[in-house]
Amino acid sequence: MRYAIERLEDFIAGIVTAAIGGFIVIEASGYGAGSLNDMGPGFFPVMIGSFMMILALVMVVTARPSAAPQPVDKNQMRGILCLTAAFIAFAFTVEAFGMLLSVFLAVFLSALGNRKTPVLYAALLAVGTAVIATLIFRVGLGLQIKAF
């Protein structure tokens, strides 16, 4: 057991690689492999997937002890969640509501990701960036994104 825990990182890496490689092989084997002189669409992906499974095996066999992977702390988690929200908010609003609102949301939400940033600052930064971005990209460069 100690053997496996010390080598956790290599084991996880191997298992993930094997899983992806296996998935590629299974998915691509339905495409038709053809033959060497007339390759089908499945030939190359199956080759890649198999290669990944071999690599995964090597990773597990040659696993060496290493420091345990670091867990994500609370602050980082907050950053990750807020940034994800910011990107999704931009994607949801840019076509329907235009650049001013989508940039505002992207900046505001991602600014909240750092607990050192006061909400008021975040809002001010978001308003400023939205206005400047609209001026640069919509007015200046003439991008086909409506302002609002």
Partner 1 sequence: MSDLLSNIALGFSVAASAQGLFYCFLGVFLGTVVGVLPGIGIMATMAMLMPITFHIDPTFGLIMLAGIYYGADFGGSTAAILMNLPGTATSAVTGIEGYPMAQKGRAGPALFMKAIASFVGTAFGVVLLAGFSVPLSRVALNFGPQEYVALMALGLVAASVIGTGRSIRSLASVSLGLAIGLIGLDLNSGIARFTFGQTVFYDGLPLVAVAIGLFGLPEIISNAGRPDLPKVQEGKIRMKDMAPTREDWRRSYMPMARGSAIGGFFGALPGTGGLVATFVSYAVERRVSKHPEEFGKGAIEGVAAPEAANNASVQSAFIPTLSLGIPGDPVMAIMLGVMMIHGILPGPDVIQSKPDLFWGLVVSFIIGNVMLLILNLPLIGMWVRLLKIPYNLLFPVIVAFTCIGIYSVHYQVWDIYVLLAFGFLGVGMKALNFEVAPLLLGFVLGPTIEIYFRRTLAVSGGDLGTFFNRPIATTIIVIVFAILAWAVGRAAWAGLAGRRARETQDA
Question: Among residues 5 and 16, whose Cβ is nearest to partner 1?
Answer: 16
Question: Among residues 1 and 142, whose Cβ is nearest to partner 1?
Answer: 142
Q: Which two tokens stand for residue 118?
A: 């006061």
Question: Among residues 1 and 144, whose Cβ is nearest to partner 1?
Answer: 144
Rounded to whole angstroms, how far apart are CA atoms 148 and 146?
6
Shortest reach from residue 64's CB to partner 1, in Å: 6
Q: Are 93 and 101 a contacting pair, CB within 8 Å? A: yes
Question: Among residues 1 and 74, whose Cβ is nearest to partner 1?
Answer: 74
Shortest reach from residue 63's CB to partner 1, in Å: 10
Shortest reach from residue 134's CB to partner 1, in Å: 10
Shortest reach from residue 35's CB to partner 1, in Å: 6
In the chain, alpha helices (H): 2-6, 8-28, 43-61, 74-97, 99-111, 119-133
Q: Which residues contact 56 (CB under 8 A, 6 or more apart)?
A: 14, 15, 17, 18, 21
Question: Among residues 1 and 69, whose Cβ is nearest to partner 1?
Answer: 69
Shortest reach from residue 5's CB to partner 1, in Å: 16
Q: Which two tokens stand for residue 9?
A: 């990182």
Rounded to whole angstroms, how far apart are CA atoms 11 and 28?
25
Q: Are 62 and 13 a contacting pair, CB within 8 Å? A: no
